[in-house]
Structure 1
Amino acid sequence: MASAGCTRARLAVTASAFVLSVAAAGPALAQELALEATAVGDIIVTAQKREQSIQDVPIAVSAFSAENLDALKIEGGSELMRAIPNVSFSKANFSMYNFSIRGIGTKAISASSDPAVAVSFNNTPLIRNRLFEQEYLDVNRVEVLRGPQGTLYGRNATGGVVNMIPMLPGPDFDAMLKAEAGNYGSMRGQMMVNIPLTETLWLRGAASTTKREGFDHNTFKDTRVNNRDMWSTRLSAAWEPVDRFRSNLIWEHFEEDDRRSRTGKQLCTTDPGPTKVGNYTITEPLFRNRLSQGCLPGSLYDDAAFGVPNGGSFAHIFSASFSFGNNAQRQAVPTIRLGTDPYAGLTQSRNLREIATSYDPLFRVKNDVVQLNMEFDVNDRLKLISQTAYADDNYYSTQDYNRFVSNPLFSSTDGLFDIFGKPIIGPSALPGGYYTDPQLGTSNRMVSADLSQSDNRQWSQELRLQSDFDGRFNFSLGANYLDFKSQDDYYVFNNVFTLLAEYFYNVVVGSPTNMGRQTQVCGPQTTKECIYVDPTPLSHLAGDGHNYFRSKNVIHTRSWAVFGEGYWDLTPDVRLTAGLRYTDDHKVSTPYPSQLLLGADRGNPGGSSGGYVSRGYPALPDIDQRWDAVTGRLVLDWKPVTRFTDDTLVYASFARGYKGGGANPPRVDINPAVIQYQPLAETFEPEYVNAFEIGTKNSLYDGSLRLNLTAFYYDYTDYQVSQIVDRISLNENFDARSMGLELETVFQPNRNFRLDANLGYLKTRIGDGESSIDVMNRTQGNPDWMVLRPWLQVPSNCIAPTRHVETILARGGNVSSTVIALQALCSGSQRTGSFSPDYPSLLKYWQTYGFEYNPLKDAPNGGRGFAADLGGNELPNAPNWTANLGAQYTFFLGGWDLTVRGDYYYQGSSYARVYNTEYDRLKSWDNANLSVTLERPEDGLVVQAYVKNLFDKTPITDAFTNSDDTGLTTNVFTLDPRLIAVSVSKTF
């Protein structure tokens, strides 16, 4: 902590000293610089939907031209954080990412949630996009607006906007070729050509490709994983038949097909389970497993975090061993020995770039964006703008769920006979102890994989009328409509799931003709409970099996808005901007409850599994939600004339932001007569923010110094944050506050030397009275309660009184009765270990143990656990400090320009979750990049060599906690390793 504090102090002092020394130098420095000052290149932006100098826009906005991006080696949206204060970025679970501005990002990962930071392609917001996965291609500029954009931009964005604006066709011929080679077998290429067909019709084409080997090492197979193979194309046409009409049509296509990992390494501080409960000493490993949550909430940076979960605590492992290990009638069924831990004795490498997996990842993406833009000058003072866009995004990613390999698990059937004395052959056999799963293949180990896929369609239309009067008043009025349809599917496969479905629920004991064991086809006429096993391979998955977990989410969003801004020049130096927006959001979510290991029995509704159906995923009634909101902004800006600046803008603003709510994914479709779950919110609320900001933008010393300062304060209502509960992404709402300071500066004292710097300070605070149940610490340290593992069909752990657990363990008896009693503490039924409404029967059962207990009534939050107090905690992914310092020097060598540049980035510590425990802490990290560029401007020839992540650091940039029933493991995310490359480009 002391080291981090010193680093922060040095950053603050360095930045302050730089600003004060330059400002204090005053006229003397100005006179010296005037001899050879070089003005910092201006950037024209459209942050207010009209072309303006970035220094004239009263908004905290950072903009980067293609030349800026190349100099900083920012090759995709994920790297923008290195050049913008108070910005962080990390990949996230499933198919998501989190681009956070001023502590506000997309921590809600439900399929129905909207991004807090809008990602736009040429001013069109795209709800689902690949702009943070693909590399920039033929870019005009990238604009990042910080703060809520409640008036002009697309749908409301409470955090800000990232807007990528491509190059458009022009009237002159232009072309470019670029080739690059680097380590990890990296090969990259780009091309562009601009062709004027006629005086009024121009075409432009651009394409890029990237191939490289994997960044990670799979120690199990001794292979490289996490490679890239992707390409992008963009075709555009511009038509300007008359002076008063302009139009362009853009089509961009992105495609990727490789073995890239969606998430990084998986960490776990192993939870072996307690050795004592009260005064009772546990000697039976099986009981310790039933009291283990799999992983403990230890620091992700300790050596212990590179352990593996207690696999014996998994409900599916326990159920398989408990069901098959002691049943004489099913002696021929493949067995897992009682008390088995598939990960016993295993450890992991401490290298975050090393994993162990027997299941290779697969990553496929196709994304298309088509945009038609038209401008018509109604007269010399009014312009009508139309923007129509269609986007189609398809995503498919499968990978090892755990990213470490288990021990051999299954017993061999070699030499065994069934109950009729027949040799075990055919589909029932496990030759050599190998089991064949229809999706995962044949293995003697526990194999688990997930699949995240989505299919998204978006259509949007926007119309704007803008004025350009000579007088004191101008305006921009508009309306837009968006229609978005999405289906998100998330699967988890495990060969033990299939084992349970196929040989426990679906077994039919009969005559020697079926060998005593035969999987029964699940259908309407089935006379016993059965669970359908999907026989299709993962590559052509039918998706109707109950031998895997599936979360199916179908969303249809329709949104329309009217908006406008007025600009009054109160005096020649003072302008008032006032904007309002009315938004109407309509979301329809179709819930498809998950059906893992649920079946149906015509003669016994609910059966022992608690399911209604044996096959397929019936939908529940639609969840229809609608919100409307009035948002806007009020800005007063002043351009004073000062002695010590060339140009100054001072502004103060208030903005009201809004982001729609949504529906939480559906849980298991369970029969309440068998299992009763604790109620969880079906929906989550919209979020709102009141944002106050003051800032100043300054140009000094004949434009050689640009100095921008901003201060802000946010008051947030119902910020949306997710965590996995009952196998779903449960979204919760928290009030919060955020405040901070930002400095951005560019200093170019002469044509040779340039210095870029930015510094961000951020302080966030969750509101008093906010609380949430931490799945990693359900007891909150209360020794009178302890965590228990529930029955197979109950996804989440629970807590129970320690004294009752001690009583049950001390009573002794056989393993079966003890385990059922422990499960009943968690769930309330002695028959199935489930939440049972039959309390009188339960009460009678507990009287045999000498106590009365109903978890639904007697335990905090019905047994889910004690709520953690969040008041005063920091928001997740909100580092207190971010800083970047870049310097470049150019040598002019008689027609050749040699530029040497270095960039350093620092991000302070933060937290991955709202609980702010040691487990949540993300340590501070830094990153350095170097480049050398040799250019001959006369010939358009550029040769460049660069090193990114110079010191090959592997920080943990974010973490995600997995579900209770898979041990509460943690997916971590990190940076790319050190990359070295050389490129050659030529323009024509």
Structure 2
Amino acid sequence: MMMSLCKQEKLIAQAIRTTNPVNNYTPWYSVAIACLVMTATPLTAISQDEQNDEKGNRSRQAIEEVTVTAQKIEQSIQDVPIAVSALSGDNMDALKIERGEELLRAVPNVNFSKSNFSTYNFSIRGVGTKAVSAATDPAVAVSFNNAPLIRNRLFEQEFFDVQRVEVLRGPQGTLYGRNATAGVVNMLPIMPEDEFASEIKAEIGSFNSKRTSGMFNLPLGETMALRLSGALTKRDGFDTNTYTGNDVNDRDLYSTRAIFEWEPSDTFSANFIWQHFEEDDKRSRTGKQLCSTDPGPSTIGDTELTEITSIFFSQGCLPASIYSDDAYNTPNGRGFAFVLVPQFIYLDTGEPVINYYGNPYGNAEQSRDLREIATSYDPVFRAENDLVQLNLEWEIGNSFTLFSQSTYAKDDYYSSQDYNRYISDPIFNDSAEFVPTPGGIYTDPQLGPSDGILAVDVSRSDNKQWSQEFRLQTSFDGPWNFSVGANYLDFKTQDDYFVFNNMFSLIAEYFYNGTRDPDTGLLVSEKCVDPEVGAGDMDCIYVDPNSLENIDEEGHNYFLSRNLVETSSWALFGEAYWQITEDVKLTTGLRYTDDRKRSTPVPSQLLLGTSFDSETGEIISGRRSGGLVHRGYPEGDQVTQEWQEYTGRAVLDWHTETPFTDDTMFYLSFAHGYKGGGTNPPRAKIDSTVVQYQPLEDSFEPEFVNAIEIGTKNVMLDGSLTFNANAFYYDYSDYQVSQIVDRISLNENFDAENMGLEFELAWQFTDSTRVDMNIGYLKTRIADGEKSIDVMNRTQGNEDWMLVRPSIQVPSNCIAPVDLVETIAASGNVLAIWSLCAGSALYGSFTPEIEGFARWDILYGVDPYNPLTDAPNGGRGFAADLSGNELPNAPRFTFNFGVEHVIPIEDWDLTLRADYYRQSESYARVYNTEYDRLKAWSNLNASVSLSNPNSELYMQLYVKNIFDDAPITDMFTNSDDSGLTTNVFTLEPRILGFSISKGF
């Protein structure tokens, strides 16, 4: 029997391995561990002497009752008519769930992915936060001790000293109403107790991992207590930078918490919580960058393209599967405007400042290993979070309780990494003129010396939040009770995203007319403020001379997207509970929310400068760049948006007895949810007579959802088995989704519908054996008639139009008529090609309305043409039909299965556990193309624990990600002017660890 079971597990392991898109080899010892742990359970259970009750049935231990605060009162999870999952601290230790991203392994229809910037997407039932701009709010409300935190460290911070984590699925229209259109994740810490206690835990593991955590609980007299806890993690990197030879993606973080509780009487209590988190390491914000190179066309119609003209029609990367071998190539960088422009900056010798006419990334070779990158710049990651909370509770008489919760949170975040994550070829000439490149080395003020293209980005965020809630709750003996309250939230954020590129600095320095210190080689003065110098045809563009760590944030030689958003929100809410009969209860809730968002636009200024009027000496807009200022980032007028919305829910639940259950509850609920809208980030403020941008929406709409759910919760077999199931349907209006357009996170709205099923089972099979399982089924559908422009496929197969790359001042690709493009391409005039996307006089015009520059329509004998008026969607392209497509990050199936078996050995308990998770394929974007497809993936973990309850000693040996899988869990498409490369995300590698803890 053992051999047959182990053989079965080998087949399971083989099936898991064959579905892994990256690895196709499984070490023998991984299979052995899986076989050992997963087969030990049934064999041991069968071999034990069965203990029978008086009726001859096998005895079972009842599953411990789980208490939750999903309705802000303590209730058994089986009595709450909400789809909610709860994990205690011990549960998470057993499952090795250490951070928020790993909750998907224990909750049905949950998905998690990191985003490209400072946030993440935690989605429930297909609804999450696919909008990434600063003005958006999370659809899943992440709360600490019932207080929602708009910005938090759910991805980075590790759980410690946790009472439980609750995950509420579905819109929470009343008590957690603001923005919780998808659900709530609520983490509750362990509060001080009235007895002395302490615990210390130490852990070592793979990648030189070291973890320590502990707590100290101290009673202070009869009315006060103090609980101190903390955790620290250090680990070497599990990714390799093959260029520098350094490991990256390491961990160096710690958390501390102090809780002081005071209960001077039976009717009043108070507690004060302070928590601090800090991280400083080389964590990579994103994973590898993939690209299927787009070589560009060789002909247009009957016209053969030259080597130089073909690059103007390559978008950099093709929309091919990210699982193909070609996906590990690099973009066709020849067509990048910042590569082409320096080729027109000539030295006195007649040579250009760069000597490279090929693809600067053409010789870069990417490893097929998702855990290997090649970059000259190792990532930098810093995060710091502080939270202070004061909770007061008064019992007024025998039937009323008044609650007050005050919370302040501050969150700072900084992440820097190589923008491309592959190495450029050497490209610079040896020169000391204009822009000095001695020995073929250009020294960038921020990035330092390099012989090739070097680009680095910085994502930085500074957030402050204050919230206050008052709530009055009743406990009448009669059939009626209620809970009413009011809350206020004030949130301020500044999100900055920088892109530094030495080619930007080189171009800016050429126009800047600065001087360099002969010893340091750095720019030290600015001459373009002198009208006698700057009155020519070249614009003045300020170059920040400071190092990366000390920038003055006024340079136009780098890209800066600054987002300043303030949110103030207040709400009145209430729920009424009517116990219609002993077994039937009706819950109704209503919430009124008043949201106000104030966004201060700060336009970007990359390579924008000004000129001087040659006659008056006054500063005028840039003749070539179109800039209105040559230095700094002036703020625009503040934009205020307001929404006043009603949300709520109604739930009918019925407790009954059936012949096959000990306790059964059925419930039917309706909920209406809302999440605020916002403004899209501003683009560059530019002189429209020189450069014009494609039309984009300035704002996006709020989200709304109507949800119907029917469910049942059951306790069976004398409490040893719980089985919960539900079915739901969502009607969604204006779901918010982002994509990068014109160097901003453009937020769009789509109507959709979601429907699905969820099953959760916990079975204490014997006193020693437990099985946990949950299954989620989800079907999402974008509504008929919804459309969006896919930046990866702007023509949508229309053969009369084709893609054209833009000039350096126009961030996005455009489309133009094939006949017109063929005529211009045949001339070989690259300036005329660039003007196809500009719709302006920057490089010449096709329209009679714009004066002062060449008229290409007259020169080439074509009809006047302006992409803003004569091309679909202002030149952006043809919209893709999204009707019937699935929502992003919404796998059709999720499956969790865990088995645990305890073997008593005198005073010790030996616990064997294995957990398996799988999700089916999904899509990363709304377009549902082959490029968007994410393959199904699995994850298997196992542990062996030894504990002595009498001495409070606990030891555990565990393996996470046994088969060392590296699936692509999500991806993010970069901007047009970056070549539409793709940042991908994956799991942590296999980690073997050992921990020991001792309580006192």
The TM-score with structure 1 as length reference comes to 0.92
Q: Pick the aligned partner of 1:386 from 385, 404, 427.
A: 404
Cα gap change, 1:786/1:338 in structure 2, threshold over 3 Å: closer, same or farther? farther
Answer yes or no: is 1:678 the counterpart of 2:694: yes
Deviates further, 839-848 or 207-216:
839-848
Per the alignment, residue 821 of structure 1 pairs with 832
1:5-41, Cα deviation, whole Å (9 max, x unpaired) = x999xxxxxxxxxxxxxxxxxxxx9997854111111
Deviations 1:599-628 (A, max 9, x none): 011324232100000110001111100001
| Equivalence for 2:870 | 858
The alpha-carbon distance between structure 1 residues 831 and 205, as it changes in their structure 2 partners (threshold 3 A), is closer
Q: Secondary structure at the match of 1:848?
A: helix
Tell me how far apart the structure 1 counterparts of residues 669 and 846 of structure 2 sit (CA, whole Å). Answer: 53
The answer for the alignment partner of 1:45 in structure 2 is: 68
Of residues 601, 622, 626, the one that matches 1:606 is 622
CA distance in 1, matches of 2:530, 2:996: 66
Q: Does 1:370 align with 2:388?
A: yes
Q: Which residue of 1 aligns with 2:280?
A: 257
Distance 1:795 1:834, change over 3 A: farther
Q: Verify the 8 A CA contact 2:844 2:853 in the aligned structure 1.
A: no
Q: Distance in 2 between matches of 1:895 and 1:889?
A: 16
* Alpha-carbon spacing, 1:171–1:154, altered in 2? closer, same or farther (3 Å): farther
Report whether the alignment pairs 1:431 with 2:438.
yes
1:100 to 102, 108, 123: 123
CA deviation after TM superposition for structure 1 residue 280, in Å: 1.6
Instruction: Say whether the 8 Å CA contact 2:844–2:854 is kept in structure 1.
Output: no
TM superposition shift of 1:156: 3.1
User: Match of 2:682, as an amino acid?
Assistant: P
Whether 1:964 aligns to 2:986 is no
Partner of residue 170 from structure 1, selected from 168, 174, 193: 193
Give structure 1 regions of 4+ aligned residues with deviation exceeding 6 angstroms.
29-33, 834-837, 840-843
Q: Which runs of 5+ in 2 are unaligned?
A: 1-14, 21-51, 516-520, 614-619
1:690-716: CA deviations, max 9, x gaps? Answer: 000000000000011100001000000
Alignment equivalent of 1:547, drawn from 557, 578, 596: 557
Do residues 695 (structure 1) and 706 (structure 2) align? no
Alpha-carbon deviation of 1:428? 4.8
Q: Are the counterparts in 2 of residues 675 and 834 from structure 1 also a CA contact under 8 Å?
A: no
Matches of 1:588 and 1:443, distance apart in 2? 42
**Cα 1:210/1:32, change in 2 over 3 Å:** farther
Mapped pair 1:463 → 2:470: yes
Corresponding residue SS for 2:90: helix
Q: Are the aligned partners of 1:402 and 1:448 in contact in 2 as well (CA < 8 Å)?
A: yes
- 1:588 and 2:611 matched: no
Residue in structure 2 matched with residue 974 of structure 1 by the alignment:
986
Counterpart residue type for residue 799 of structure 1: I
CA 1:859–1:879: 2 relative to 1, 3 Å: same
For 1:681, what is the secondary structure of its paired residue? coil
Alpha-carbon distance between aligned partners in 2 of 1:33 and 1:772, rounded to the nearest angstrom = 65
Is residue 58 of structure 1 aligned with residue 81 of structure 2?
yes
Q: Read off the aligned partner of 1:264 and give its amino acid letter.
A: G
The CA distance in 2 between the partners of 1:632 and 1:31, in whole Å, is 50
Aligned to 1:783: 799
Partner of 2:751: 735
1:928 corresponds in structure 2 to 940
Is contact 1:334-1:412 (8 Å) kept? no
Task: Measure how far apart 1:836 and its partner are.
Answer: 7.5
Tell me, in whole angstroms, the C-alpha distance in 2 between the residues paired with 1:622 and 1:142: 39
Separation in structure 2 between the aligned mates of residue 194 and residue 803 of structure 1, nearest angstrom: 78
3-state SS of paired residue (2:883) = coil
* 1:398 matched to 2:404: no
Distance in 2 (CA, whole Å) between partners of 1:114 and 1:855 is: 35
Deviations 1:775-794 (A, max 9, x none): 00001111211111111100
Question: Separation in 2 of the partners of 1:833 and 1:700?
Answer: 78
Structure 2 distance, partners of 1:333, 1:501, is 19
Question: Counterpart of 2:247 in 1: which secondary structure?
Answer: strand
Aligned equivalents of 1:53, 1:836: Cα separation in 2: 72
Q: 2:822 is matched with which residue: 806, 811, 821?
A: 806
Counterpart for residue 548 of structure 2: 538
- Counterpart of 1:507, as a letter, is N
Q: Is the 8 A contact 2:689 2:840 kept in 1?
A: no
Question: What CA distance in whole angstroms lies between the structure 2 residues aligned with 1:747 and 1:769?
Answer: 46
In terms of mean alpha carbon deviation, does 147-156 or 448-457 score higher?
147-156
What secondary structure sits across from 1:581 in the alignment? strand
Match of 2:8 in 1: none
What residue number does 1:11 align with? Answer: none
The residue identity in structure 1 corresponding to 2:735 is: Y
2: distance between equivalents of 1:520 and 1:495? 19
Call closer, same or farther: CA 1:508–1:575 in 2, change over 3 Å. Answer: closer
- The residue aligned with 1:306 is 328
Per-residue CA deviation, residues 91-114 of structure 1 (Å, 9 max, x unaligned), is: 111111110100000001010100
The one-letter code sitting in structure 2 at the alignment partner of 1:458 is Q
1:205-234 deviation per Cα after TM superposition (whole angstroms, max 9, x unaligned): 001100001111111112211111000000
Structure 1 SS opposite 2:610? coil
Corresponding position: 1:718 with 2:734: yes
Q: CA separation of 1:298/1:750 partners in 2, compared to 1, >3 Å: closer, same or farther?
A: same
Measured after TM superposition, the shift of residue 527 of structure 1 is 3.6
User: Residues of 2 paired with 1:556 and 1:941: CA distance?
Assistant: 49
CA deviation vs aligned residue, 1:239-294 (integer Å, no higher than 9, x gap): 00111001100000000001110000000000111111112222x22211111111
For 1:837 and 1:56, locate their aligned partners in 2 and report how far apart those are by CA, in whole Å: 73
Task: Report the residue type matching 1:541 in the other structure.
Answer: I
Q: Over residues 898-922 of structure 1, what are the superposed CA-to-partner deviations in whole Å (9 max), with x where a residue is unaligned?
A: 0000000001100000000000000
Using the alignment, how far apart are the partners of 2:321 and 2:100 within structure 1? 30
**Structure 2 contact 282–380 (Cα < 8 Å) conserved:** yes
Q: Which amino acid aligns with 2:876?
A: R
Is the Cα–Cα contact under 8 Å of residues 333 and 359 in structure 2 kept in the other structure? yes
Partner of 1:886: 898
CA distance in 2 between counterparts of 1:805 and 1:479 reads 61
Decide whether aligned partners of structure 1 residues 947 and 884 sit closer, same or farther in structure 2, where only a CA change above 3 A counts.
same
Q: Assess if the C-alpha contact under 8 Å between 2:19 and 2:936 holds in 1.
A: no
- For normalisation by structure 2, the TM-score amounts to 0.91
Q: 1:849 aligns with which of 857, 860, 864?
A: 860
* 8 Å contact from structure 1 (residues 314, 966) kept in 2: yes
Contact map agreement 2:847 2:866 (CA 8 A) in 1: no
CA distance in 1 between counterparts of 2:148 and 2:530 reads 47
RMSD (Å), alpha carbons: 2.1
In the alignment, the residues of structure 1 paired with residue 622 and residue 216 of structure 2 have an alpha-carbon distance, to the nearest angstrom, of 65
Taking a change above 3 Å as real, the CA distance of residues 105 and 833 of structure 1, as seen in their structure-2 partners, is: farther
Deviation at 1:840, TM superposition (A): 7.6
Give the match's secondary structure for 2:597.
Answer: strand
Structure 1: gaps of 5 or more residues: 9-28, 414-423, 510-514
Deviations 1:789-846 (A, max 9, x none): 1111000000111121212223x3xx5xx11121122223465258978358889531
Q: Percent identity?
A: 60
Q: In structure 2, give the amino acid aligned to 1:589.
A: S
Once the two structures are TM-superposed, the CA of residue 83 in structure 1 deviates from its matched residue by 0.5
- 1:843-895 Cα offsets, whole Å, 9 max, x none, are 95313323212222221111110000001000000000000000011000110
* Change in 2 beyond 3 A, CA 1:837/1:614: farther
State the Cα distance separating 1:644 from its structure 2 match: 1.0
Where does residue 25 of structure 2 map in the other structure?
none
Secondary structure at the counterpart of residue 869 of structure 2:
helix
Query: Structure 1 645/437 Cα, relative in aligned 2: closer, same or farther at 3 Å?
Result: same
What is the alpha-carbon distance in structure 2 between the residues aligned to residue 79 and residue 692 of structure 1? 28
The residue that corresponds to 1:25 in the other structure is none
Asked whether the equivalents of residues 124 and 154 of structure 1 are also in contact (C-alpha less than 8 Å), the reply is: no
Find the counterpart in structure 1 of residue 35 from structure 2. none
Deviations 1:576-614 (A, max 9, x none): 000000000000000000000000113242321000001
